[in-house]
Amino acid sequence: MEKNLKKIPPCDENCPVKASLNLLSGKWTLMILFQINDKVMRYGELKRAVPGISEKMLIQELNMLVENKLVSKKAYPEIPPKVEYRLTKLGLKTLPIVDQLAQFGLENLV
């Protein structure tokens, strides 16, 4: 007996899953979004909150998140430099996805 399955289109250049993965598939991307969440965080706080990430990778990921409009960056003209990161409206839309992944991880920790 065949179930009523919705037709799933091929993952070509118009695929919504592929588009989402292009934004969210970096190794550290979801962890950074999860840490920033609804807070304002500085670079050093993020570095401590994501153990194992190198400075180069954190800078690269943050720049990519800013470029993709998921995170906003505010730099203050002072010495030492002060930079704050927060999720944009688009970035906040990723939180339910991140929360579902966190819940899945909690339920299926190996």
DSSP one-letter string for 47-102: HHHSTT--HHHHHHHHHHHHHTTSEEEEEESSSS-EEEEEE-HHHHTTHHHHHHHH
- The pLDDT score that the predictor gives to residue 81 is 85
Q: What is the rounded average pLDDT of the residues 74-87?
A: 92
Looking at the chain, the whole-number percentage of residues with pLDDT higher than 90 is 65
pTM strictly above 0.75:
yes
- The pLDDT score that the predictor gives to residue 30 is 93
